[in-house]
């Protein structure tokens, strides 16, 4: 038997005091604040970053300086010499600048032909000026440009000609010319 049974108290009737409902304090709405700051930074970047340049009218025909062309280069007196070592070859001759600009570089396209007349190989090589009377070395034309109307001894070096080349003078075509301003 229980000595002190506890029964639930019946609810009170009539007016009674209700405890105050405590609303949690809200701080700053951080996610909303972060979105606003990110949008402001994005707008600032769009406004202050440089824009693409405005299209300008191109230079008139009179403002464009004369450009060098392969037609202003003349190669003559070409001869072929075997290098002292290996399978390399030199093509030596004269270069004449018949244009009106100083030439600082020439590239030639060389086609090596085989015994049946087809192209066995092709190479693009720079033209170098021969130094001194012995012609044992060559230098770049940038160091001493070829003036208009001037002629220079030149050398073109081939270190790996095609194996099935017929060892005859290859076909030469001036492929590229660079020059200084007139």
Higher pLDDT, 151 or 57: 151
Question: CA–CA distance from 122 to each of 5, 16, 81, 158, 160 (Å)?
Answer: 114, 108, 18, 11, 11
> Integer distance in angstroms from the first to the last C-alpha of the chain?
125
Average pLDDT over residues 8-30: 73
Domain 72-179 indexed as CATH 2.60.40: yes
Average pLDDT over residues 63-80: 73
Give the percent of the chain with pLDDT over 90: 5
Element (H, E) at 34: helix 30-48
**Residue 39 confidence class, pLDDT cut points 50, 70, 90:** very high
Find all residues with CB under 8 Å of 83, minimum gap 6, and list them. 89, 90, 157
**Contact in structure between 79 and 92 (CB atoms under 8 Å):** yes
Least confident among 20-29, 36-45, 167-176:
20-29
């Amino acid at each position: 038997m229980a000595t002190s049974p506890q029964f639930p108290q019946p609810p009170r009737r009539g007016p009674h005091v209700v405890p105050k409902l405590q609303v949690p304090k809200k701080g700053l709405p951080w996610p909303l604040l972060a979105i606003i700051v990110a949008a402001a930074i994005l707008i600032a970047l769009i406004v202050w970053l440089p824009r693409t340049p405005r299209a300008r009218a191109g230079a008139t025909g009179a403002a464009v300086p004369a450009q060098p062309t392969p037609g202003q280069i003349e190669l003559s007196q070409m001869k072929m010499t075997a290098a002292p070592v290996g399978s390399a070859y030199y093509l030596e001759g004269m270069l004449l600048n018949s244009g009106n600009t100083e030439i600082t570089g020439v590239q030639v396209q060389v086609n090596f032909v085989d015994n049946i007349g087809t192209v066995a190989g092709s190479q693009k090589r720079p033209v170098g000026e021969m130094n001194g009377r012995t012609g044992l070395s060559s230098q770049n034309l940038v160091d001493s440009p070829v003036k208009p109307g001037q002629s220079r001894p030149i050398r073109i070096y081939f270190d790996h000609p095609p194996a099935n080349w017929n060892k005859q003078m290859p076909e030469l075509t001036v492929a590229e010319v660079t020059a200084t301003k007139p």
